[in-house]
Amino acid sequence: MAIRTIITEPNKLLRQISKPVNGVGKDEQKLMDDMLETMYDANGIGLAAIQVGVPKRIIVMDISKDETKKEPRYFVNPVIKNKDTEKATYEEGCLSVPNQFAEIDRPCKCEVEYLDYHGEKKLLKADGLLATCIQHEMDHLEGILFIDYLSKLKRSMIIKKLSKKKSTAAVL
């Protein structure tokens, strides 16, 4: 396993639509292993492949709070089958939008169909944080970030802040 670099906003790659993969083979498993290690290293609970610069429809997640009992989840070619009309609000952050947080409304339940780490077709009924996390990560596959749900003013303030940070880093 290897830790990969997480790309951050503003970056055109994050706006790219990811492509489905043909199946789960050694390459996809290696990518998922790397993504998981990268996510744990950055203290995140979810990561989409495009966040490490790979435009494939692959997501890893672990929402377990117990450090000693890891519960990694892998979603390959995920498709949302059903969404609840009822909404839930969570304060969201994103490894690609560092140190920024905002309350976002999303359907409180969803059903997702996907291939697992071994390429087996699965259907998961998710609610609570898991449902929010799946929808946040699936947005990444469409080139959407959580800040896109905010007002234009708020979003541009965040992007400005992040751009400033980047330019300072480049000068060093």
Catalytic residues: 137
Task: Report the C-alpha gap between 165 and 134 in whole angstroms.
Answer: 29
Q: Which stretch binds Zn ion (CB under 5 A): 28-36, 94-102, 111-119, 152-160?
A: 94-102
Residue spans of beta strands (DSSP E) within 72-171: 73-83, 87-94, 97-107, 109-115, 121-127
Considering the complex, what minimum distance in angstroms separates the CB of residue 94 from Zn ion? 3
C-beta of 77 vs 135, nearer to Zn ion: 135
Q: Indicate the residue among 68 and 99 with the shorter CB distance to Zn ion.
A: 99
Q: Measured from the CB of residue 48, what is the shortest distance to Zn ion in angstroms? A: 7
Distance in angstroms (rounded) separating the CA atoms of residues 89 and 5: 30
| Cβ at position 171, least distance to Zn ion in Å | 27
| Structural tokens at position 169 | 């880093």
- Cβ 51 vs Cβ 95: under 8 Å: yes
Phi, psi torsion values for 12, nearest 5 degrees? -60, -30
- Give the number of residues in contact with Zn ion, rule: CB under 5 A: 1
CB of 60 to Zn ion, least distance (A): 12
Contact (CB, 8 A) for 104 and 94:
no
Query: Order of strands, edge to edge, in the sheet holding 73-83?
Result: 46-48, 58-61, 73-83, 109-115, 121-127
Question: Which x/- pattern over 28-67 shows residues binding Zn ion (rule: CB under 5 A)?
Answer: ----------------------------------------
Q: Is 94 in the site for Zn ion (CB under 5 A)?
A: yes
State which residue, 61 or 76, has the beta carbon closest to Zn ion: 61
**Residue range at the interface with Zn ion (CB under 5 A); choices 15-23, 69-77, 86-94, 162-170:** 86-94
Enumerate binding residues for Zn ion (CB under 5 A). Answer: 94
